Structure 1
Amino acid sequence: MQLTFDPDVEEFRAEFVGFLTEHLPSEAEATQRSESSAHVPEWARRWQRLLFDSGWLLPTNPPEFGGRNASVLQQYVYLEELSKRRIYHSFNPQGVGIIAASLLSFGTEEQQRDWAVPILRAELTAALGMSEPGAGSDLAGLRTRAVRDGDHYVVDGQKVWTSGAHDADVLLTFVRTDPDAPKHKGISVLLIPTDTPGVTVRPFASACAADDLDFNEVYFEGVRVPVTNRVGPENEGWSVANGSLGHERTLLWLSFANRLEDMLVDFHPRTALDNDGYARLVMDSFALRLLGSAALGRESRGEQDVPTLSVLKVLGSEAVQSAAERALDNVGPDGLTHPAVSAPPNPLNLECFTSSWFERYLRSFAGTIAGGTSEIQRNIIAQRVLGLPRA
């Protein structure tokens, strides 16, 4: 299968390449690394603001929200060009890609002005308060409560795995406002500034490194939140959640396809993979690109195919993990220290591309968890693709 694009898409690509050639920060400018997924160094704030002002932050958005009303195919080639350079458009990906996008879909004009635009312009950073102890991928099991008290809600409860919360200015927080409603109902969404009295944020290390502080526990004790900070109608948070994760999942398969293609270079059979493992990596890479491109074509025609996104997510995330595991097995003890990349480090890359094969394998688990675990995706596939009954 050979992907080709209409002239307007290729003109769009050429314009973006020209912008990158002229404006991409140099390594000398980008001296400070990001410390978490909500920590944006000052030079990176300037870079994100330039993208916003030029309409290149989220091209499918209208101009007032950092875009240029691009089509889905134009968005695709935009992401392709970022991938070729192994760079990202924001050091606060969940703030830009999930939280601001959710506010544009469900928020009031005031919320868009006061929260979404500052997040998109890197004036504020945001984190997603969704997972809880005992309620990770199962949002319906959340227990953090918000009780209405006049023109405020009083919030009590706990979140966990909240990436970047200790560096974020605001949390998009899912709370239960009607404990008597069925589990999928009675959920609301609140914007809670992290400096609100009663909010306690505690970062903790990941398995990758003791100084890799991105995950957090967040505690809410009698936190008063204005009703005007509610996103969407009361008790309609399930719809907001589906929309929030929908923003994350639409082209999520492309990130895995790009990563597999990076691995074709980084995990060359002479360095990491045996011939069988490399052949499997090649086949997985081509299969994901083929299936994803077919889904992209349907999306460009306005067809909605949510179950296919689940298939692509499982295929992509598990192919990345399988390749990383096989490479680690092959290189043996050297995998604990040897760099797992052939390309030079890039200051605009959120990934640690100078990390070892071991770290790269550990990080692959994020792909099988974030955006909906493989287990949840298989349930969706079973019910909506294969037509099997619910358990």
Structure 2
Amino acid sequence: MRLTFDDDVEAFRAEFAAFLEANLPAEAEAAERSRSTGHLPEWARRWQRLQFDTGWLLPGNPPEFGGRNATVVQQFVHLQELSRRRIFHSFNPQGVGIIAASLLSFGTEEQKHRWAVPILRAEITAALGMSEPGAGSDLASLRTRAVLDGDHFIVNGQKVWTSGAHDADVLLTFVRTDPDAPKHKGISVLLIPTSTPGVTRRPFAAFTGPEDKDFNEVFFEDVRVPAENLVGPLNQGWRVANGSLGHERTLMWLGDAERMGDLLRDFHPSTPLDKDWYATLVMDRQALNLLGSAALARAARGDTDVPALSVLKVLGSEASQKALERALEAAGPDGLTHPTTTAPYYHMSYDDAFASWFHRYARSFGGTIAGGTSEIQRTIIAERVLGLPRR
């Protein structure tokens, strides 16, 4: 395996690095923080729009959708440069990385320009309505109903853990449209503006503190949604769901690898460093980078190895969580309050905004849940990598 990049990829990296150096928002300009993953301060809207207009928001997209038709490897180094600098290209990550991407994959041309482009240009924000009470990891058990009535769907039900919904303009919502079909069938996807009568959003605090209000309960009571807001074919929402989560998982491992790198750089305990813990962290990060590089090479050849992504998801999320647990233990009482890094605050993502060791460790649990829980990923690995029987 050759762990270096061709000259054209390095030239692409250098061009993007020069763009960042010339255009990053000034710290004073970026003083206002995002209050949720559905909220964009004006400076963040300008920053995202600039990236869209110059083709640096999602380089793999065509120019009309904020990109420059970059290769998979070029997309990788783009994310690598952002991660190394702790820069977030959007404060509405699910809107840009999952919802707009899903619309570009499954939406009509009208939906792409009416919804995806405004999301990508930071004119509106979006939230993802998947999980429900009793249908979290098992999305196929969802019970939110949508009944076709003429040229509208009538939606009733509830979502939960809907990040940023109270600040978002639109929800990409998974609903059951055929209650008699097997549970993986009969699911459809609707774009539901949050201003629609009958939509109620209730944010609630996470255990990391009352200031951390990103999660929501969302209730739908006789909500009328135009039939033209159906994304993908009727009753084929499971395919859209797999595509949506695929957009989220493809390079997710890179974020875990960079977070472990951050941990190596940021950890300054008052007690002597545990050499065994440090060595484990170094080896886990190296293993993740090597396995991720192999997956990247396969993707560059056009081979999307979904089970391999499950291996990377489990390894990355759980290794970084264990490392953060050890760091919190070593930091002692100081880890409850003291900042973990001196990196510019406005460069951090929403997830890194609560910067004590405790907050970093507490938020790591989301990494083992979002994009598919570790338990579900182990089932995929058992069945599709190891070939074990379903029972």
TM-score (norm 2): 0.97
Matched, 1:5 2:5: yes
Q: Deviations over 1:257-314 (max 9, x none)?
A: 1111111111256668521111111111111011101111111111121111000000
Tell me if the contact between 1:126 and 1:170 (Cα under 8 Å) persists in the aligned partners. Answer: yes
Give 3-state SS (helix, strand or coil) of 1:191's partner. strand
Structure-to-structure mapping, 1:346-361, within 5 angstroms: 346-347=346-347, 349-352=349-352, 355-361=355-361
Q: Give the aligned partner of residue 262 of structure 1.
A: 262
Q: Give the aligned partner of residue 29 of structure 2.
A: 29
Residues 1:153 and 1:331: Cα distance change in structure 2 (over 3 Å): same
Superposition deviation, residue 8 in structure 1: 1.0
Q: Deviations over 1:240-259 (max 9, x none)?
A: 00001010011111111111
Structure-to-structure mapping, 1:33-182, within 5 angstroms: 33-182=33-182
Q: Give the aligned partner of residue 318 of structure 2.
A: 318
- Worse-superposed segment, 185-194 or 328-337: 328-337
Matched, 1:202 2:202: yes
Tell me if the contact between 2:38 and 2:163 (Cα under 8 Å) persists in the aligned partners. Answer: yes
Residues 1:354 and 1:149: Cα distance change in structure 2 (over 3 Å): closer
Taking the aligned partners of 2:342 and 2:26, their CA distance within structure 1 comes to 20
Give 3-state SS (helix, strand or coil) of 1:157's partner. strand
Matched, 1:221 2:221: yes
Amino acid of the structure 2 residue aligned with 1:202: R
Taking the aligned partners of 1:44 and 1:171, their CA distance within structure 2 comes to 20
Residues 1:30 and 1:272: Cα distance change in structure 2 (over 3 Å): farther
Residues 1:229 and 1:371: Cα distance change in structure 2 (over 3 Å): same
Taking the aligned partners of 2:80 and 2:168, their CA distance within structure 1 comes to 28
Q: Give the aligned partner of residue 237 of structure 1.
A: 237
Superposition deviation, residue 47 in structure 1: 0.5
Structure-to-structure mapping, 1:301-380, within 5 angstroms: 301-347=301-347, 349-352=349-352, 355-380=355-380
Superposition deviation, residue 389 in structure 1: 1.1
Amino acid of the structure 1 residue aligned with 2:236: E
Give 3-state SS (helix, strand or coil) of 1:43's partner. helix
Give 3-state SS (helix, strand or coil) of 2:358's partner. helix
Taking the aligned partners of 2:380 and 2:118, their CA distance within structure 1 comes to 35
Residues 1:110 and 1:183: Cα distance change in structure 2 (over 3 Å): same
- Worse-superposed segment, 351-360 or 197-206: 351-360
- Worse-superposed segment, 311-320 or 295-304: 295-304
Give 3-state SS (helix, strand or coil) of 1:369's partner. coil
Tell me if the contact between 2:17 and 2:81 (Cα under 8 Å) persists in the aligned partners. Answer: yes
Give 3-state SS (helix, strand or coil) of 1:213's partner. coil
Tell me if the contact between 1:340 and 1:353 (Cα under 8 Å) persists in the aligned partners. Answer: no
Superposition deviation, residue 337 in structure 1: 1.1
Give 3-state SS (helix, strand or coil) of 1:219's partner. strand
Q: Deviations over 1:312-353 (max 9, x none)?
A: 000000011001111112222222112222434344533335
Taking the aligned partners of 1:272 and 1:343, their CA distance within structure 2 comes to 24
Taking the aligned partners of 1:198 and 1:154, their CA distance within structure 2 comes to 10
Tell me if the contact between 1:345 and 1:354 (Cα under 8 Å) persists in the aligned partners. Answer: no
TM-score (norm 1): 0.97
Give 3-state SS (helix, strand or coil) of 2:351's partner. coil
Tell me if the contact between 1:146 and 1:155 (Cα under 8 Å) persists in the aligned partners. Answer: yes
Tell me if the contact between 1:73 and 1:300 (Cα under 8 Å) persists in the aligned partners. Answer: yes
Taking the aligned partners of 1:2 and 1:110, their CA distance within structure 2 comes to 43
Q: Give the aligned partner of residue 294 of structure 2.
A: 294
Amino acid of the structure 1 residue aligned with 2:22: E
Q: Percent identity?
A: 75
Q: Give the aligned partner of residue 388 of structure 1.
A: 388
Amino acid of the structure 2 residue aligned with 1:295: A
Taking the aligned partners of 1:290 and 1:33, their CA distance within structure 2 comes to 35
Amino acid of the structure 2 residue aligned with 1:316: G
Q: Give the aligned partner of residue 16 of structure 2.
A: 16
Amino acid of the structure 2 residue aligned with 1:244: S
Give 3-state SS (helix, strand or coil) of 1:220's partner. strand
Taking the aligned partners of 2:107 and 2:276, their CA distance within structure 1 comes to 50
Tell me if the contact between 1:103 and 1:231 (Cα under 8 Å) persists in the aligned partners. Answer: yes
The two structures, once aligned, show a CA RMSD in angstroms of 1.3
Residues 1:213 and 1:271: Cα distance change in structure 2 (over 3 Å): farther
Tell me if the contact between 2:176 and 2:187 (Cα under 8 Å) persists in the aligned partners. Answer: yes
- Worse-superposed segment, 44-53 or 3-12: 3-12
Taking the aligned partners of 2:273 and 2:130, their CA distance within structure 1 comes to 38
Taking the aligned partners of 1:72 and 1:106, their CA distance within structure 2 comes to 20
Q: Give the aligned partner of residue 190 of structure 1.
A: 190
The aligned length equals: 391
Taking the aligned partners of 1:68 and 1:98, their CA distance within structure 2 comes to 19
Unaligned runs of at least 5 residues, structure 1: none
Tell me if the contact between 2:145 and 2:175 (Cα under 8 Å) persists in the aligned partners. Answer: yes
